[in-house]
Amino acid sequence: MSRKTIQVTEQEMAEQREAARRVREIEDRPKSYFIVTYGCQMNAHDSEILAGMMDEMGMTPAAAREEAELILFNTCCIRDNAERKALGNMTWLKELKRQNPRLVLCACGCMIQQPRMAKVILRQYPFFDIAFGTHNLHKFPSILERALETRRQVISIEETDGCIAEGLPCSSESKITSYLSIMYGCNNFCSYCIVPYVRGRERSRSEDDILREAERLLEGGTQEIMLLGQNVNSYGNDRDDGATFPGLIRRLDALGVPRLRFMTSHPKDLSEELIEAMASSKHCAHHFHLPVQSGSDAILKAMNRIYDRETYLRRVESLRKAMPHIALTTDIIVGFPGETDADFEDTLSLVERVRYDSAYTFVYSPREGTRAAAMPNPVPQEVSSERIARLIETQERISAEVLAGLVGSEQRVLVEEVSKRDARQVAGKCTRNITINFDGDESLIGSFARVRVTAAGHNTLKAELVSAEDKEAPEWP
Ligand code: 5AD
Ligand code: SF4
């Protein structure tokens, strides 16, 4: 793949900045905005970029949806319920629009990128002013300009493999923890998953662009960077400049990012080199999110996951050998077509064996256009419900045991906020990505602290302060 075809040119980006400037000069443009975000971290980060664009267009964030002059829905379609939720909430806006015809309603994101959605918006949501897909996010200023000038519905959905747009604004640059996208799209085509269809092919940003963005984030006060991509450990595979994920980790570690996380990884690409890069790094968190999806070889094969149970367990072993205290988390789907009781028992036994800190668990949801949607032997809803309940019960027991096992240990916490439940306490995450609350005041926010865990709660830990911690201190003591 030629890099030229996927990188948006500087001239096109300049045109968008020009469009943003013109929107700022439109007298009756919306002055405030509210974004409703569904789905994963990539969407959350896209919303930060969209907010940055709207700031540039002279708008300010509204405190509530009802107070905004522009409402933007950034949608998700990974499962049917995500889609139904977004469509349901979009329907509610009809009344708001009737009361205030100047209100600008926009929808974007993965759900909109699906081929059938243009028609749905046109027919069922004529009160929406704008709909644009994931591939056109960088064109939001010119799309909005067109809608404001014509006062007609603008639908902009491009069917491409996707692109990389550098230099977009972002509204979050002074946050304690920040997202940083290193790649977009996915080539894996897991048979149940719609992501490759709505996010396009894998395309990796250049190491230099990523390093520059990381430097900017650090200058803005960021203490933790979460590298984002659908499949971060295949970072660089689409480039011809030798860039690799372990190499990128080493460069970011050397830059001195106080804490480095990444998400999500595919087990098939988890190399010994990456494990070594993490283990020898100073700043990588002791946490690995490694979606397994199923513990059954037959189901993994039908899911097109490329690895089998034994390979997965071997990689878990390698991770733990190199980093004995590493926390593992995962994603699991139950009720995939053809999943038998024995297949499900294999999933349960894998969960018992790995002992994850936590797991995101899902009932399989057929997605139009994916291979699994056409597979025979659907699992009845009541069977899936029973299986997911058993899975959750098993994982909750293990999570509680893992948390209880941490009582008495010392942890390095990045303090992020005053605790939600008790204003005399602050809360932050330890390297395992578990929230820890401890007595302390606001002045600690944004700094690292060493704490001793005193009790385990439900998904969180309580602790007492031991000492302030240097941000240069290693994640691995
Ligand atoms: N049904 C249920 N869960 C799904 N996921 C992806 N597609 C589907 C689907 N069709 C889950 C996977 C993935 C996570 C982000 O969402 O577990 O890792
Ligand atoms: Fe979907 Fe599989 Fe790609 Fe993850 S790796 S986004 S589950 S196709």
Task: Give percent of the chain above pLDDT 70.
Answer: 98
Q: Is 108 exposed, middle or buried (0-12, 13-18, 19+ CB in 10 A)?
A: buried
Ligand 2 centre and the CA of 292: distance in Å? 11
Per-residue pLDDT tens over the stretch 259-312: 999 999 999 989 999 999 999 999 999 999 999 999 999 999 999 999 999 999
pLDDT at 232: 95
Residue 33 · residue 62 · CB < 8 Å: yes
Does residue 340 have a cis peptide bond before it, meaning omega lies within 30 degrees of 0?
no
Does residue 193 have its Cβ closer than 6 Å to ligand 1? yes
Taking Cα atoms as reference points, which of 139, 168, 164, 169 lies closest to residue 154?
139
Q: Is the pLDDT of residue 3 over 90?
A: no
Higher pLDDT, 171 or 331: 331
Left if phi > 0, otherwise alpha if psi is -120 to 50, otherwise beta: which for 454? Answer: alpha
* Nearest by Cα to 185 from 176, 194, 174, 177: 194
pLDDT of residue 33: 98
- Smallest CA-to-CA distance from 459 within 398, 411, 416, 413 is with 398
Give the residue from 279, 372, 346 showing the smallest Cα distance to 319.
279
Ligand whose nearest atom lies closest to the CA of 372: 1
Give the position of tokens 């014509």.
150
pLDDT of residue 4: 46
pTM above 0.75, yes or no: yes
- What integer is the mean pLDDT of 235-254? 96
- 364 C-alpha vs ligand 1 centroid, how far in Å? 7
Residue 192 in contact with ligand 1 by CB distance below 6 A? yes
- Report residue 186's pLDDT band, with 50, 70 and 90 as the boundaries: very high
> In this predicted structure, what is the pLDDT of residue 2?
45
Ligand 2: residue of 42, 79, 134, 193 to mutate (most ligand atoms within 8 A of CB) is: 193
Question: Cβ of 465: how many Cβ atoms within 10 Å?
Answer: 16
Tokens of 453: 């865990």
pLDDT of residue 173: 59
How much is the average pLDDT of 435-463?
96
Instruction: Report the alpha-carbon distance of residue 380 to residue 386 in Å, rounded.
Output: 10
Encoding tokens for residue 8? 């948006």
Mean pLDDT of the chain: 95
Ligand 2 nearest-atom number relative to CA 230 = 6
Measured from the Cβ of residue 63, the count of other Cβ atoms closer than 10 Å reads: 9
Instruction: Give the Å distance between the CA of 374 and the centre of ligand 1.
Output: 16
Cα 101 to Cα 95: distance, rounded to the nearest angstrom: 10
The set of protein residues with a Cβ atom below 6 angstroms from ligand 2 is 186, 188-190, 193, 195-196, 230-231, 266
CA of 193 to the centre of ligand 1 (A): 6
Mean pLDDT across 130-134? 95
Ligand 2 atom showing the smallest separation from residue 231 Cα:
5
Is the distance from the beta carbon of residue 364 to the nearest atom of ligand 1 less than 6 Å?
A: yes
Give the distance (Å) from ligand 1 centre to CA of residue 79. 7
Quick check: 34 and 67 in contact, CB under 8 A? Answer: yes
Cα 134 to Cα 189: distance, rounded to the nearest angstrom:
18
Q: According to the model, what pLDDT value does residue 162 have?
A: 87
Model confidence at 5: pLDDT above 60: no
Handedness of CA 246, 252, 256, 260 (dihedral sign): negative
| Cβ–Cβ under 8 Å, residues 73 and 90 | yes
pLDDT tens profile 291-306: 999 999 999 999 999 9
pLDDT recorded at residue 161: 84
**Cα gap 101→390, rounded to integer Å:** 49
Determine the residue of 41, 192, 230, 362 to mutate for testing ligand 1's pocket, defined as the one with the most ligand atoms within 8 A of the Cβ atom: 362
Q: Is 231 in the pocket of ligand 1 (CB under 6 A)?
A: no
Please give the Cα distance from 22 to 38 (Å, whole number).
30
Tens digit of each residue's pLDDT (9 = 90 or more) over 24-48: 999 999 999 999 999 999 999 999 9
Average of pLDDT values for 408-437?
96
Q: DSSP for 388-457, please give it.
A: HHHHHHHHHHHHHHHHHHHTT-EEEEEEEEE-SS-TTEEEEEETTS-EEEEE--GGGTTSEEEEEEEEE-
- CA–centroid distance, 186 to ligand 1, in Å, is 14
Tell me the torsion sign for CA atoms 382, 387, 388, 392. positive
Under 8 Å CB-to-CB from 421, ≥6 apart: which residues? 437
Instruction: Please tell me the distance between residue 38's alpha carbon and the centre of ligand 1 in angstroms.
Output: 14
Q: Give the atom of ligand 1 at the shortest distance from the alpha carbon of 192.
A: 10
The residue whose CA is least distant from atom 2 of ligand 1 is: 364
Q: What is the pLDDT of residues 89-125, one digit of tens each?
A: 999 999 999 999 999 999 999 999 998 998 899 899 9
Ligand positioned closest to the Cα atom of 306: 2
The protein residue whose alpha carbon is closest to atom 13 in ligand 1 is 331
DSSP state of 139: G
Rounded to the nearest angstrom, the distance between the alpha carbon of 249 and the centre of ligand 2 is 22
Residue 448 near ligand 1, beta carbon < 6 Å: no
Residue 323 clears pLDDT 50, i.e. is over it: yes
Name 84's Cβ contacts closer than 8 Å, sequence gap at least 6.
none
Decide: 349 and 313 in contact? Cβ < 8 Å: no
8 CA distance to ligand 1 middle (Å): 30
- pLDDT at position 174, please? 62
Banded pLDDT at 1 (limits 50, 70, 90): very low
